[in-house]
Amino acid sequence: MKKLAISLSGAALLFASTCLASAENRCGWIENPTPANWWLTDRDGSWTIMVQGGYEAEGMDMIGDISAGDYVATNGNYGYACACMEVTADAENSRITMIHSFRQLSIAKCENDSALPRPGQ
C-alpha cells in the first residue's frame, strides 16, 4: 500500500509539473462584451476563454470582477480591460484551456503596446 501511495503522489507531481511547464504568460485586452463571453486578444491573436452556453476554460474564477479595476464599459456592465494571464493554451483552436493566474493592468499599458489591435477589432 505504501508503494502505491508513493507512485500516486509521484504521478500527481509529474502531472502538475507538466501542466506548469506548458503554462505561458499572455498579456493583452481581456474582453467581456456580453454575458459569459470572454476572450483575450494579445500580439498573437484572439484567444477564446468562454462562450455563452458552450466552451469554458478551467480557472475562470481567477479573473474576478474586471470592472473593479481600470476598465472600459462598452455594453452596460460589460466591457474590456488590460491584463496578463498565466495560462495553458490550445494554439490549434485558439483557446485558453486553463487559467493559472490573472493580473489586471492599467488600460494605458495595452494602449501603449503597438503590437496589440484596439479592442473589438
Question: In a structure prediction context, what are the per-residue pLDDT tens digits for the chain, which is 121 residues long?
Answer: 555 444 545 544 444 444 454 899 999 999 999 999 999 999 999 999 999 999 999 999 999 999 999 999 999 989 999 999 999 999 999 999 999 999 999 999 999 999 999 887 6
- Rounded CA-CA distance 111/119 in Å is 10
DSSP bridge pairs for 75:
78
pTM summary value: 0.81
- Ramachandran quadrant class, 50 (left: phi over 0; alpha: psi -120 to 50; beta: rest): beta
- Rounded CA-CA distance 35/117 in Å is 23
Phi, then psi, of 94 in degrees rounded to 5: 50, 50
